């Protein structure tokens, strides 16, 4: 695992790559500089409280600072970038502390007491990248979030630098550790809410620091794809447990899903089948692979599994062709991952823009590009028993190919999803998630050996 010193050694190469990319992108909009805003705190309607601050992803790509609203990065090609760090004089709240990492040596750093002080550092012909803010129209920006600039930045974000991959390995390690704590809580009879608290404690993160809201689903709740209700009372008879939860490290995300069965059952067989096919899909991740092909392979494999378990009748190919597999697997097989959980550029045709929409039969597929070396994607096939989709199938004729008695047996379990984060490399896929869990297991074995 990389230490902070290791990460700081990797950071200059990452920054150089980002500077070269941004210089190229600036040429497309005839601007000589870019100002990237961290974002601003937002007050709730009729209240004096702010929502949790979420930093602009473009800002944290340059500077791993997540908690300094009102800050800016200024970049002029050929010059050292400038970090304008907003540290207000405030006795009501704790101002953000100026970072002390070695990566700071790569910037000219100036402390701002008010965000408006940034104006004096902005050169002519500067493009602004970030959320709109009050008074921005008076700052003299040559362009605000110009599309050609953003297109080039977004398209290139799919391929990660060595620094970014190191951060994502750390995020995977944190997420895997917290997943293990959540499973222990479930096995101990905890409620969804209590499992969530155990996850937070093991990750060392508060809710606002999670990359997305935890999905902690027991029994039939696993059939709700984005279930976040967190029941306070434990299930009377726990049958299944689905957890979709990730972590952040220096602004980079992990996104991990696991499903568990409490006893041997047909559902446990389904779980084993999804686990097996998911690993086949992970093995497909490589530079040059057209990502929709992985999605279509997932449908074929899921169709075969549904036939094998007697959930549907007929052939797997027919189930895919008629959309029957979509009743049980209604979402895309995955997405780009990085500074955002659903990272940008998934439907972008080229660096110059343009759209590459998903196939008409698969509208929820978030990634329609060929994978480049260094791209990080999720692979997350699933099989669910969702009342709404089953009712639609029953009404449109597809229901005659479903064994409804078998479906009734599976419905109390909700569903299965297995999700890993995988890097496309020329040497083969690097599974960040599996590696993180394996590292935990090795440590446990070593500790037990030392104790013996």
3-state secondary structure 397-415: CHHHHECHHHHHHHHHHCE
CB 334 within 8 A of CB 367: yes
Please answer whether residues 211 and 247 qualify as being in contact, where contact means their C-beta atoms are separated by less than 8 angstroms. Answer: yes
Q: Cα dist. 420→7, 272, 342 in Å? A: 23, 15, 14
Mean pLDDT of the chain: 96
Full set of structural domains in the chain with CATH: 4-156 (3.40.350.10), 162-451 (3.90.230.10)
Task: Name 216's bridge partners.
Answer: 243
Q: What is the Cβ-side half-sphere exposure of residue 290, based on CA atoms within 13 angstroms? A: 8
Q: Quick one: average pLDDT of 236-255?
A: 97
pTM of the full predicted structure?
0.95
Is residue 302 within 8 Å of residue 402, measured between CB atoms? no
* Residue 342: predicted pLDDT: 97
Name which of 182-186, 265-269, 300-304, 441-445 the model is least confident about: 441-445
Residues 6+ apart with CB under 8 A from 41: 50, 51, 53, 69, 70
Half-sphere exposure of 424 (CA within 13 A, CB side): 27
What is the pLDDT, as a whole number, of residue 2?
A: 61
CA 173 to CA 337: how far, in whole Å?
15
- In the predicted model, is pLDDT for residue 10 greater than 70? yes
Give residue-wise pLDDT tens across range 134-156: 888 899 999 999 999 999 999 99
Strands (E), 276-350: 348-350
Cα 295 from Cα 293, distance rounded (Å):
5
Residue 410, Cα to own-chain centre: how many angstroms?
Answer: 29
Mean pLDDT of 361-379: 97
Print burial letters for 332-356: b (CB count within 10 Å at least 16), e (below 16). Answer: bbbbbbbbbbbbbbbebeebeeeee
Q: What pLDDT does 451 receive? A: 65
User: Helices in 50-109 by DSSP H: which ranges?
Assistant: 57-62
pLDDT tens across 231-245, in order?
999 999 999 999 999
d(CA 374, CA 40): 32
pLDDT of residue 1: 59
Query: d(Cα 193, Cα 199) in Å, to the nearest integer?
Result: 10
What are the CA-CA distances from residue 228 to residues 213, 232, 249, 447 (Å)? 7, 12, 23, 35
pLDDT digits (tens, 9 = 90+) for 182-236: 999 999 999 999 999 999 999 999 999 999 999 999 999 999 999 999 999 999 9
Contact call for residues 200 and 180 (beta carbons, < 8 A): no
Express each pLDDT in 106-132 by its tens digit.
999 999 999 999 999 999 999 999 999
**pLDDT value of position 3:** 66
CA dist., res. 179 & res. 243, Å (int)? 8
User: Which candidate, 395, 412, 406, 387, places its Cα nearest to that of 307?
Assistant: 406
Pairing type for strands 348-350 and 382-384 reads unpaired
What pLDDT score does 323 carry? 97
Phi, psi of 434 (to 5 degrees): -60, -40
For 415-433, b/e burial (b = at least 16 CB within 10 A) is bbbbbbbbbbeeeebbbbb
Are 156 and 21 in contact by the 8 Å Cβ rule? The answer is yes
Distances in Å between the Cα of 308 and the Cα atoms of 169, 266, 270, 301, 303 are 36, 11, 10, 11, 9
**In terms of Cα–Cα distance, which of 445, 431, 441, 321 is closest to 376?**
431
Query: Which pair of structure tokens corresponds to residue 80?
Result: 């050292």
The residue written with tokens 């969530």 in the block is 196
- Across 422-439, average pLDDT: 98
Give the pLDDT confidence of 313-360 residue by residue, as tens digits: 999 999 999 999 999 999 999 999 999 999 999 999 999 999 999 999
- The arithmetic mean of pLDDT across residues 400-410, rounded, is 98
């Amino acid at each position: 695992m990389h230490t902070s010193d290791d990460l700081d050694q990797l950071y200059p190469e990452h920054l150089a790559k980002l500077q070269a990319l941004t210089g190229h992108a600036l040429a497309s909009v005839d601007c000589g500089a870019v100002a990237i805003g961290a974002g601003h705190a937002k007050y709730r309607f009729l209240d004096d409280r702010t929502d949790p601050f979420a930093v602009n992803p473009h800002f944290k790509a340059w500077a791993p600072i997540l908690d300094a609203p009102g800050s800016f990065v200024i970049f002029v090609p050929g010059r050292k970038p400038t970090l304008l760090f907003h540290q207000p004089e405030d006795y009501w709240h704790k101002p953000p502390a100026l970072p002390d990492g070695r990566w700071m040596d790569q910037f000219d750093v100036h402390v701002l007491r008010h965000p408006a002080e940034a104006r004096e550092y902005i050169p002519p012909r500067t493009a602004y990248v970030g959320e709109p803010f009050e008074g921005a129209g008076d700052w003299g920006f040559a362009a605000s979030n110009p599309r050609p600039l953003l297109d080039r930045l977004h398209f290139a974000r799919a391929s990660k630098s060595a620094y970014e991959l190191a951060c994502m390995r750390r995020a995977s390690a944190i997420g895997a550790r917290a997943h293990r704590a959540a499973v222990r809580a479930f096995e101990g009879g905890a409620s969804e809410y209590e499992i969530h608290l155990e996850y937070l404690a093991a990750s060392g993160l508060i809710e606002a620091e999670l990359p997305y809201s935890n999905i902690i689903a027991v029994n039939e709740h696993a059939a709700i794809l984005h279930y976040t209700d967190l029941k306070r009372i434990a299930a009377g008879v726990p049958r299944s447990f689905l957890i979709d939860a990730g972590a952040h490290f220096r602004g980079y995300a992990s996104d991990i899903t696991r499903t568990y069965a409490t006893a041997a059952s047909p559902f446990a067989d389904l779980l084993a089948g999804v686990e097996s096919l998911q690993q086949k899909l992970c093995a497909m991740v490589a530079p040059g692979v057209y990502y929709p092909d992985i999605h279509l392979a997932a449908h074929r494999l899921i169709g075969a599994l549904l036939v094998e378990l007697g959930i549907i009748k007929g052939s797997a190919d027919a189930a895919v062709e008629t959309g029957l597999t979509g009743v049980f697997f209604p979402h895309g097989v995955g997405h780009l991952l990085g500074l955002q959980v659903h990272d940008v550029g998934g439907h972008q045709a080229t660096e110059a823009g343009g759209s590459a929409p998903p196939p008409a039969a698969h509208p929820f597929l978030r990634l329609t590009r060929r994978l480049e070396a260094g791209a990080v994607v999720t692979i997350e096939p699933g099989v669910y028993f969702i009342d709404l989709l089953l009712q639609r199938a029953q009404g449109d004729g597809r229901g005659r190919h479903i064994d409804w008695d078998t479906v009734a047996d599976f419905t109390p379990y909700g569903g299965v999803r297995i999700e890993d984060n995988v890097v496309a490399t020329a040497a083969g896929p690097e599974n960040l998630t599996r590696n993180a869990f394996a590292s935990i297991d090795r440590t446990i074995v070593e500790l037990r050996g030392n104790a013996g």
